[in-house]
Amino acid sequence: VPVDRIRNFCIIAHIDHGKSTLADQLLLKTGTVAARDMIDQFMDSNDIERERGITIKLNTARMKYTAQDGQLYALNLIDTPGHVDFTYEVSRSLSSCEGALLVVDASQGVEAQTLANVWLALENDLEIVPVLNKIDLPGAEPERVIREIEEIIGLDCSNIIRASAKMGLGIEETLEAVVQRIPPPNNTVKDPLRALIFDSYYDAYRGVVCQFRVVDGQVAKGDTVVMMNTGKEYTLDEIGVLAPVKTPVDTLYAGEVGYLAAQIKSVLDARVGDTVTLKKNPAADALEGYEDVQPMVYCGLFPTDADDYQDLREALGKLQLNDAALKFEPEVNNAMGFGFRCGFLGLLHMEIVQMEIVQERLEREYNLDLVTTAPTVVYKTLTNTGEELTVNSPGDLPEATKRQNISEPYVRLEMVTPTEYVGNLMELANNRRGEFVEMKYLTDSRTTLVFNIPLAEVVTDYFDQLKSRSKGYASMEYKITGYRVNELVLLEIKINGEPAEPLSVICHRDHAYRTGKALCAKLKELIPRQMFRVPIQACIGAKVIASEAIAPYRKDVLAKCYGGDISRKKKLLQKQADGKKRMKQLGKVEVPQAAFMAVLKIN
Ligand code: GDP
Ligand code: MG
């Protein structure tokens, strides 16, 4: 199809507002996927996504659609991940589009993620087409939600599409709006090639498969291309379109969206945001917006059995081929033995990687029990010699006498809430060292609260707290803004007199006493009794600020079963054995997995 009959668009929505369901309906309506082939939610392609109901990896689908004007159009739908951890990928995929469908649940209204995505879309100059979804629900309030969209976002809603993706209503109108309201790409086919990679993933047969948008020029199978930011060169084995299964073609032109494969070994060599150009006629400048995304959260992963170290290394290496944001480095620590310090974009990313390791393990049928230490943010410290160090683990912090300060990452946090919960959420943010920025009344019943707040405070249980303090009605989004020096201290935990490095935390001096006390109490609860008394202490430097002790067993566990029934005895033994699985020996004390996460449970 000629370039004026191409439309590149994405769907943006708050989680659960119906993005995937609508995408599936568009595929069905255009005959791109037959109903019988439609696995529930085609666009969410991997198991973890389907299980969690969120889109992590992007999927593109080219649809052919004959519009009411009788012309055949090529509509490229680019799906975007729906979580703050993947904002960079979202921004690159939005920048591959000319327009966006903004899906808003008619029973819910505008939420934090809706807003965050809209601002990203506007930054990328996208035409935004609002779609009011779930109008079939008895609780739908279309007029209220339309007013919200108009007042908060400033979009003209006079011809808003009313849809029910679930019932298949408003689908044709949506397709017509894509054709009529979203502009076609610019025709820059005569310029040197510039193609934007907006997604890449590893495929065992083809090597890395990159999804890209041809911004300028054209690209053909067999061309030698250069990745402008990494400088890597490749000869293209295959290019094609996702229709939505891979369909090879010979050439792709400006405005089109497709994939390429060139036996690229790792996604690190063909990164999201990089610009592909031709070696023989290169573009002068790369496209804007490339970033080398840095992990913001780190945790330690340790196999419970030291023999599994190599297996864990292999599993992480394999995941990294497909995940440019995952970082890992060996970590040795006298308490935990050999393991890895792993870096993630955020907590969801961390959880996904852990699930993938488990999946790997199941596929390859090896046993790999892991102990995970509590996630911490990346701190920075200025040493006495004027060197700035990055601190991925509290244990890496130089001694107090050898450093001038510690700084921590801050985010701009936006919470959208029904007005009645404003007080509760203000209190939450204040307790977590939030600094009030502004409050905006979105409508008479909804408010946005903006705070500057340390990332460390929002990556723990902040989201759960927000939900429970707003009866589930508030939503939040955040964006990293930079580092700030604060009065931070290293709170060290000693168990049975020995430093338990993996349990140590960095916290604000004003919160240290409270945190130390709560952490000791929590550890007392989580660490099982031993044969001897186990003191637990929280210290700053040499000073003990809190302590507890776990009393020893009074009797043998089995003593009371003697002569009693054998099955009960077996059960007890089994229970003990199960409890042992994810334990780590810290000195003489066995510490279960839950204790390593204790710090997340104390607020
Ligand atoms: P996403 O997180 O934005 O991708 O949302 P999904 O497409 O996964 O939808 C979230 C939930 O809302 C699912 O249970 C859908 O079945 C449901 N849903 C989606 N669209 C509609 C709709 O139009 N009406 C109703 N009643 N439910 C819908
Ligand atoms: Mg989805």
Query: Per residue in 117-160, pLDDT tens?
Result: 898 899 899 999 999 999 999 999 999 999 989 988 889 999 99
Asked if pLDDT for residue 382 goes beyond 60, the answer is yes
Asked if pLDDT for residue 335 goes beyond 80, the answer is no
pLDDT tens-digit map of 256-273:
999 999 999 888 899 999
pLDDT at 289: 87
Asked if pLDDT for residue 194 goes beyond 80, the answer is yes
pLDDT tens-digit map of 167-185:
999 999 999 999 999 999 9
Ligand 1: residues with CB < 6 A are 13, 15-21, 53, 82, 133-134, 136-137, 164-166
> Atom of ligand 1 at shortest distance to CA of 23?
7
Report the alpha-carbon distance of residue 168 to residue 188 in Å, rounded: 37
Give the ligand at the shortest distance from the Cα of 17.
1
CA nearest ligand 1 atom 22, residue: 134
* Ligand 2 centroid distance, CA of 247 (Å): 24
pLDDT at 348: 80
> Atom of ligand 1 at shortest distance to CA of 167?
23
The fraction of the chain above a pLDDT of 70, given in percent, is 90
Asked if pLDDT for residue 568 goes beyond 80, the answer is no
> Looking at 221-306, which runs of residues are DSSP E strands?
224-227, 233-235, 238-242, 246-249, 251-253, 257-261, 275-278, 297-303
Asked if pLDDT for residue 48 goes beyond 60, the answer is no
Asked if pLDDT for residue 186 goes beyond 90, the answer is yes
The three-state DSSP-derived secondary structure of 258-279 is: EEEECCCCCHHHCCCCCEEEEC
pLDDT at 448: 93
Higher pLDDT, 336 or 243: 243
20-32: average pLDDT: 91
Asked if pLDDT for residue 313 goes beyond 70, the answer is yes
Asked if pLDDT for residue 558 goes beyond 70, the answer is no
> Atom of ligand 1 at shortest distance to CA of 103?
3
Asked if pLDDT for residue 321 goes beyond 90, the answer is no
Asked if pLDDT for residue 580 goes beyond 70, the answer is no
Q: Which two tokens stand for residue 322?
A: 């497909």
Asked if pLDDT for residue 78 goes beyond 80, the answer is yes
Give the ligand at the shortest distance from the Cα of 101.
1
> Looking at 419-514, which runs of residues are DSSP E strands?
435-441, 446-454, 475-486, 488-495, 498-499, 505-508
Report the alpha-carbon distance of residue 189 to residue 212 in Å, rounded: 15
For the CA atoms of 204, 316, 351, 433, the dihedral, rounded to the nearest 10 degrees, stands at -130
350-372: average pLDDT: 76
pLDDT band at 116; cut points 50, 70, 90: confident
* Ligand 1 centroid distance, CA of 16 (Å): 6
Report the alpha-carbon distance of residue 260 to residue 198 in Å, rounded: 12
Q: Which two tokens stand for residue 285?
A: 């400048």
483-488: average pLDDT: 96
Q: Which of 27, 23, 88, 31 is nearest to 49 (CA)?
A: 23
CA nearest ligand 1 atom 16, residue: 166
pLDDT at 304: 81
Report the alpha-carbon distance of residue 129 to residue 102 in Å, rounded: 6
